[in-house]
Amino acid sequence: MEVNFLRVLAHVYAEALLRAFRSYRRYLLFAAMLLTTCIMVGYRGFNPSADSLPWIFDNLVKLRDSMAGASELEQMAMLFWNNLKSTLISIGLGWIFGIIPMVSICLNGVIIGAGAKLMVAKDALPMPIVIASFLPHGVLELPAFLAGQIVGLRLGFLIPVVWRGRASRDDLGRAAAEGAIILGLFCLPLLAIAAVVELKVTPAIIRALAPHLSTLPL
């Protein structure tokens, strides 16, 4: 029974998930290029101030403050929900010509770039250490984030085409079904694992590489 379950699971991932991603590959390439560009913009354009943080860090600061005093399991749940919420908002509001997913990608890219600049300038950390401190959960979180955004992006681009009669409702339904597969089989598991890694692995790496920095600089 266990072997059959594993075979079914492997088949689902090998067939359904890969087929869904093939349909979204153009959107994934566009989203990855947009995110990379905004990371560079955030890094090059941000000038850290010793007095205050810009408004783009407000949500991260609120999340950090809300996690203070919570149990480790509650903190993981908070991180998971915070990341999942942006995905659900982008999918739910993506029908507005894909604007919300694009804004979300741009804003998160700028936050990543500005956060890296903050660690380099304010905490005197070399870039390799900054990358190493982000990499363990980032390699899980970023693909899951992008995958969720492209679902909203594709639906937002496709709905007006359906309205104009250049695509059918079947095309929209197929895109929605493939998006549900990506969300359920890819985004949710990766975001859950990323939340665990961010709380268990990332702090240990920061302590090992930069003992003077107890937490992220937010």
Give the chain's length: 218
Q: Please report, as a single letter, which amino acid is at residue 128.
A: P
Confidence of residue 218 (pLDDT cuts 50, 70, 90): very low
d(CA 151, CA 72): 31
pTM, rounded to two decimals: 0.84
- 188 pLDDT above the threshold of 90: yes
Amino acid at site 165: G
CA-only gyration radius of the chain, Å: 19
- If you average pLDDT over every residue of the chain, what do you get? 84
d(CA 121, CA 198): 22
pLDDT number for residue 23 = 86
* Whole-number pLDDT of residue 1: 46
Given a cut of 80, is residue 136 above it in pLDDT?
Answer: yes
Residue 14 has pLDDT above 80, yes or no: no
Is residue 122 within 8 A of residue 163, CB to CB? The reply is no
Query: pLDDT, tens digit, for every residue of 189-214?
Result: 999 999 999 988 888 887 787 776 65
pLDDT above 90 (res 170): no
Q: Are 128 and 188 a contacting pair, CB within 8 Å?
A: no
